Amino acid sequence: MFEDKTLVCKDCGNEFVFTAGEQEFYAEKGFENEPQRCKACRDARKQSRRGGQREYFTAICAACGNEAKLPFKPREDRPAYCSECYSKLNNKD
């Protein structure tokens, strides 16, 4: 039904492939327009809208006591975990 298409990025002018799978996804979501930017330019645009780098906050991990860097401001009424302890808590088998 869908076939890969080569499109030209409106920002950088480079060609990029709009794959059959991506076209199917667009159709399922009801998107009517094809993408106008390549992935690199889309990512750069998203990053610039966020104001550049992501802000991180520090907290003490409630499980191991080490410093944890968090992409959100921790609340005092909720425990915060470092990425290693968080993974252990969420990957219980």
- 30-40, pLDDT tens digit by residue? 999 999 999 99
CB 15 within 8 A of CB 7: yes
Domain boundaries, the chain: 5-49, 57-90
Q: Give the pLDDT confidence score for residue 71 in this predicted structure.
A: 83
pTM equals: 0.52
Which residue in this structure is represented by tokens 């950088």? 12
d(CA 61, CA 88): 13
Q: Is the pLDDT of residue 91 over 80?
A: no
- 44-67, pLDDT tens digit by residue? 888 877 765 677 899 999 999 999
DSSP bridge partners of 16: 7
Q: What percent of the chain has pLDDT over 70?
A: 94
Q: Print burial letters for 25-47: b (CB count within 10 Å at least 16), e (below 16).
A: ebeeeeeeeebebbeebeeeeee
d(CA 77, CA 2): 51
